[in-house]
Structure 1
Amino acid sequence: MTKPLIVVTGASSGIGAATARLLSAQGHPLLLLARRSRRMEELALPRTLCRRVDVTDRGAVEAAVHEAQERFGPADAIINNAGAMLLGRIADQPVDEWDRMIDLNVKGVLYGTRAVLPGMLARGTGTIVNVSSIAGRKTFPDHGAYVATKFAVHALSENLREEVAARGVRVVTIAPGAVETELLSHTSDERIKSDYEAWKESAGGALDPQVVAEAIAYAYGQPQSVTIREIVLAATGQEA
């Protein structure tokens, strides 16, 4: 049986790229969205449409989803993975970093969801997977604005589940601890980056993105009548 289309945002590296590889290996056609098209194309996955899209551009997200559905059929799932982690103190972090995280981490999830949800509701089936963070469940030093956006993802996911569960659509929140990705490199405060790296090392290292991808695939792979509402995972040595 032909497997259905899945949309993955933030697919050019880290969790998104690992998830794309895994779902492709399981036989799914994919729509991959990210700002770095070359990195997505280098994955060289079959039956995959790669589009250079910033998920804060709602029109571009909707256009790409429409194009993919015309080619591969209805989207059965979206992995809302695109995000930014720009660490800083509320007192002196550049405000444009707050804006970037709010736009990407919150509005990007909303825009991705809106692009596929009406069709899912019409068909009475589908899965929304929102990649959040342990920082959506507890606070960390120098994470204030980032934590706020990830708490928002958790709240949005729960509220959305209440809206759509009775109509056959599942909502899953994936909340990893520290993961070996490029996220930290975008933080502008070098002391905070150094402290984070030292903290990560003290915990014995961070999760491999593949582990998070497998958690996503596990949740999605359950019967449609079963929703894994949330998966929280971290390196064993990560205490916080």
Structure 2
Amino acid sequence: MANYTDILETQHALEATVLDKISRFEAQLKAEVPQTSNSMTKLDEEFQEFKSHVHSVLGLLQQQIAAVAGVLDNIEMRHRRKYLLFNGIPEDINPTLEDFIVQILRDRFEFKELSKKMIAVCHRLGKPVEGKCRPVLLRFTEPTLKSDVWRKKTALKGTSYSMAEFLTRHRQSLFMLARKRLGTRRCWTTDGNVIVKLSDGTIQRVFTNKDLDHFVPGNAETPAIVSQASPTSGTSEARTKSKRSGRTKK
């Protein structure tokens, strides 16, 4: 089944086709029928009314798709919050992957009591690519352990390893766009939420590219990302400083 991004792209293509045909028909109609004709005047009025109706329907369809996309993204992210991604783990390690991860968490994160029994999922994502290390998807048996590990992610500083949350495609795109505009030190994620620190020091949570545009305007060359409905009643919630986010450290 196609995901919501594919559906949105299909809708955009359909919209472009419909609007292009309307424009072509309008130009042809004006070229072939005398402008002074009474019938042309009436026909033009009816056509403009039809054109306005089509725009309204397409706009409504966009809103509905965005709303559905937002709901689906929230559902998917709720599941992904249980996971972490480890990057930079060599493909040709001698011990098992689980043993290697456990050793890192014991040595760097100081979780001395950690064992393989506390890991529910540990495997690489994607197909092998020569010269690249595939990310490792990790899920612990206890959600609290995942939170403890994520809070101490700076323990990997100075190593070739890094850690990231398992974001959805939309949130990953939003996160990368935020980092492009604000820099890596002023953008981070917490529980799947994209957090930004503005120039005045305030911390905000953003859900869509429209939210990001409100806080940090981009330019015409900035690549667009999938526009979705915020998981709240509107963007006003996204523009309100989150106390929880304010307590989050980069």
Whether these two folds match at TM > 0.5 is no
- Give TM-score scaled by structure 1 length: 0.22
Larger Rg: 2
